[in-house]
């Protein structure tokens, strides 16, 4: 998004993160926001906002680690701010669709994995920290390494990522 904080980019009069927040809040007990800049803007949502605890840019895994280190529940669901059309049953479908023994599950739709949309047990925090300390950064590799499982979803539209100004423009005025 040309250097802009993607979560704060406007779609149909609201920042992208607020679209995701509106879909997730009815599905979970509490929402926290991982952000490494513009904390005050995100705090306007009323959610707890925190930065990565792992130094150096480690991508989505660093935000996941910070969340797993601070949550009080056993499970956390993760969603990226650039998926404003998420399924309203994301959490329940991940929970019901994961392998019984798996400590992680992620969205798969139309043969494509969406690892940033995941359900992860907080007990994986030490393994994730070790993974990052080794210099590894691939989210999908980590989820598979810890025995996670993909959960199939039918609604491809729910997992559209808005990654460019062109993507954003194509959805202005829709939904």
Residues 19-52 pLDDT 10s: 999 999 999 999 999 999 999 999 999 999 998 8
Is 6 marked as a binding-site residue? yes
Residues above pLDDT 90, as percent of the chain: 79
5 known ligand binder: no
CATH of the domain at 166: 3.90.550.10
User: Given a cut of 80, is residue 175 above it in pLDDT?
Assistant: no
Question: Does 175 reside within a domain?
Answer: no
Does residue 82 fall inside a structural domain? yes
- Residue 1 lies inside a defined structural domain of this protein: no
pLDDT in tens, 79-104: 999 999 999 999 999 999 999 999 99
Q: Rounded to two decimals, what is the model's pTM? A: 0.93
d(CA 56, CA 62): 9
Residue 11 lies in a domain: yes
The number of domains in the chain is 1
Q: Can you give the pLDDT at residue 9?
A: 94
> Does residue 1 have a pLDDT over 70?
no
- DSSP labels, 119-137: EEEGGGHHHHHHHHHTT--
36, part of any domain = yes
Domain that holds residue 86: 6-170
pLDDT of residue 103: 97
Its sign, for the CA torsion 175, 108, 15, 75, is positive
Per the domain annotation, does 144 fall within a domain? yes
For residue 104, being part of any structural domain is answered with yes
Q: Is 118 within a domain? A: yes
Spatial separation of the C-alpha atoms in residues 123 and 67, rounded to whole Å? 12
């Amino acid at each position: 998004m040309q250097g802009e904080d993607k979560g704060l980019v406007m779609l149909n009069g609201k920042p992208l993160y607020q679209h995701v927040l509106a879909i997730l809040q009815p599905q979970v007990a509490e929402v926290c926001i991982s952000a490494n800049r513009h904390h005050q803007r995100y705090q306007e949502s009323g959610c707890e906002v925190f930065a990565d605890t792992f130094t150096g840019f480690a991508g989505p895994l660093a935000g996941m680690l910070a969340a797993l280190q601070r949550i009080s529940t056993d499970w956390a669901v993760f969603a990226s701010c650039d998926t404003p059309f998420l399924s309203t049953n994301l959490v329940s479908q991940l929970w019901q669709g994961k392998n019984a023994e798996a400590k992680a599950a992620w969205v798969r739709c139309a043969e494509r994995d969406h690892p940033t949309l995941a359900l992860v047990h907080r007990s994986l925090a030490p393994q994730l920290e070790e993974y990052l300390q080794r210099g590894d950064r691939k989210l999908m590799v980590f989820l598979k390494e810890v025995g996670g499982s993909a959960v199939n979803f039918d609604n491809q539209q729910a997992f559209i990522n808005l990654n460019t100004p062109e993507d954003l423009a194509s959805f202005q005025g829709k939904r």
